[in-house]
Each structure stands twice: as C-alpha cells, then as structure tokens.
Structure 1
C-alpha cells in the first residue's frame, strides 16, 4: 500500500503545472470533448508508465542492492531538483489532429511523457519498491488526479493553483525519499 500511495502522491504533485497538464488544458479547450481526452490520457499513461515500471523492475535484476540504493537515492534527489525547474510546453505535442480526439490525446500524451520527470520517477519507484503493478497503478492514478480536473475545469483551476508551492512540496517529498533511501530506509525491501 505504501508503494501505491507514495507513487500516487508524488506524481499527482509533480504533474501540477507540468507540460502534460498544460497539454490537457490545450486539448480540452481545442476539442471540448472531455471523455475521449480523459481516456486518451489514461491509455497513454498506462502504456508509458507500464514501460517505465518494467524498466525499473528490470534494473533491479542488474544492479546489486548497495549500488541500487545509491543510484535510487541520488535519482530521487535529482528528481527533487528537476521538479523545481519549470516545464516548457512544445506546441508540437498537440499537433496530431488527424488521429481524432482520442488518438491525438493518446499520441501527444505518450510522446510528452517520454523522458519526463514522472516517467523517470516511475522507473525509480518501481525499482525502489519492487512492485511493478502497484507503482504503475499509483503513478497512473496520480497522473489522472492532476489531469482530469484540467480537462473538465480548464483555466478556471489553472489560475487558482499555487503551482510553485505544489512543486516545492513534490520536490521535498522526492528529497526525503532520496535521503531516506541513502540512509538505508529501504533495507527491509532488500537493498
């Protein structure tokens, strides 16, 4: 349960103000069809985070427990720093209109998440907790928590969201995870 809750919380917080949340706002404003947009976000996230989680699980088979602890600890601290750097949205992420609303959302979200901090976090969390399905379920739920309101409520919530504060909270959680991992908090999990 810990892996699920931490994965959900970290991604939900990290996604606020992220380029994929901006993409959700743009797609919602452009198409005004929230259901296919939400379904596209869900399928893209499951595919992207499923791949990332599998990569994280595979990495644990290649690296010894002590090395893994250091790699994960430093990765989480790096994620904390990265979370504080504002994302830049690339207009090309939203230019797949020939695929329809669902297809455009699916392709745009999948591509926008490639190498994004939440994908990297999914890799690290899957390696940390050795719980592929639990982590992917949590990171996917976190993505939906952040982006579904963006689709349905659009700019009404964007203007009121304290993005900088939310990013600082997410960065603090990543930093705490990193320090705890470096100090051996994951020892009971085998590293």
Structure 2
C-alpha cells in the first residue's frame, strides 16, 4: 500500500461527497433510524461501490498509457464540470420532512440504509473519481483504502451528527473546491497524455 496514493484518494473524495446527495440521504436515514445501523449499512454500501469503481479503474489501466491518461482526463474533467454546475445551483436541496424514529431492528435499519445508498451511489462523482485514481496510479488497494476512508468519514458525520451538519455546510463552496480539485487532476492527466504521445 502506498500512503501518498491513500492520501490523494482521501483528499479528492472527501470534498466531493460532502455536498453530495448521498450525504443528505444519510442525514434523512439518521432521522428515521438509530445512527449505528445507518452508519453500518451506508459504510458497507460505500465499500462495495468503491470496490466496483476500483475494479473498473484497474481494468482501464490494462490499456495503453496514452489511452488511460486520456480517459482519466475525461473522467476528471466531466466531474469538474458537473460539480461546477451544481455549485451554480446553490445550496437548495430538497430535504425529506423529519419523521418519527421507527422501532426497527438493527439488521433491518442497516439493510434499508445499505439499499438506499447503494442505489444512490451509482454513477456518482466519487465513483468517477475513484475509477480515475485507480487507473492513474495502478494502486487499487491504496485507492480503495483512501476512497473508502473518506466515504466512511462522511457517512459517520452524517449518521452521528445528523441535521446539525447540514445546517453548517457551505455547500456551494464545497462544490467549487471539489470542482477545482477535479480540474487539477484533469490537467495533470492531459499533460501526461501529451507527454506520452510526444515522448
């Protein structure tokens, strides 16, 4: 495992997920169920999604280097554009109205949380970023650990701090910071593509 790759994955994924729909879905789940089963279910869903994204990115790394860096550039550029567009919409999110906590077993609450987040995370920006990092660094375990750690931090904050967190997040700023990070990674990938083609 390469610590610098773990850190790169963590630093890139964390700001992407903070203003994401999965954060708000976790917040809503935390208003309906106790925090621990929500955290367990969401954490497992994120772990499976990260494993799928790392596998897809690792398969990309089997292609010629110029093709891989070009695909990575497109993935990150797409992510930057999507995040920037989200930041222009502002922080208005449709939040579900708070419901009374249900008397639900731990396993059922965790299973519901897993299902909601697993479905919500498909094609998400964090999946694009994770696949791009796995293709770029060819260190699937390091990317997995960094990305999953970032997602666990986010899901833990959402599950255990609940609605207090949503009220204090400058969502627009977080979208813009994440868009900037995606753009930097896209530029680095473009430079690597050009260097590979001309070198």
Please state if 1:37 is matched with 2:17. Answer: no
Quote the offset at 1:50 in angstroms: 0.2
Q: Relative to 1, partners in 2 of residues 1:52 and 1:90: Cα closer, same or farther, differing over 3 Å?
A: farther
The count of aligned residue pairs is 182
Change (3 A) 1:75 1:158: same
Q: Is the contact between residue 11 and residue 142 of structure 1 (CA under 8 Å) also seen in structure 2?
A: yes
CA RMSD of aligned residues (A): 2.5
For structure 1, which runs of at least 5 residues remain unmatched after alignment? 92-96
Alignment equivalent of 1:169, drawn from 141, 157, 177: 177
How far is the alpha carbon of 1:155 from its aligned partner? 1.4
Q: How does 1:85-124 map to 2 (within 5 A)?
A: 85-86=85-86, 100-124=108-132
Q: Whole-Å Cα distance in 2 between the matches of residues 139 and 148 of structure 1?
A: 14
Indicate if the aligned counterparts of 1:13 and 1:146 stay in contact, CA closer than 8 A: no
Q: List gaps (5 residues or longer) in structure 2.
A: 97-103
Against the structure 1 CA distance between its residues 8 and 182, is the aligned structure 2 distance closer, same or farther, given a 3 Å change threshold?
A: same
Equivalent position to 2:134, from 126, 140, 144: 126
Q: What is the alpha-carbon distance in structure 2 between the residues aligned to residue 136 and residue 149 of structure 1?
A: 20
In 1, the alpha carbon distance for the partners of 2:61 and 2:94 equals 33
2:66 corresponding residue in structure 1: 66
Q: Which residue of 2 aligns with 1:157?
A: 165
Cα distance in 1 between the residues matched to 2:24 and 2:185: 27
1:118 is displaced (CA, Å) by 0.8
Deviation at 1:105, TM superposition (A): 0.8
1:32-84 Cα distance to aligned partner (Å, 9 max, x none):
x11111111111111111011011101211x2111211121122111111122
CA distance in 1, matches of 2:80, 2:94: 20
Structure of higher CA gyration radius:
2
Q: Deviations over 1:128-149 (max 9, x none)?
A: 1101111111111111222211
Residues 138-170 of structure 1, C-alpha deviations (whole Å, 9 max, x = no match): 111111222211111111121111111111111
1:24 is aligned to: 26
Q: Deviations over 1:80-135 (max 9, x none)?
A: 111223397798xxxxx897100001111111111111111111111011011111
Deviates more, 1:78-87 or 1:15-24: 78-87
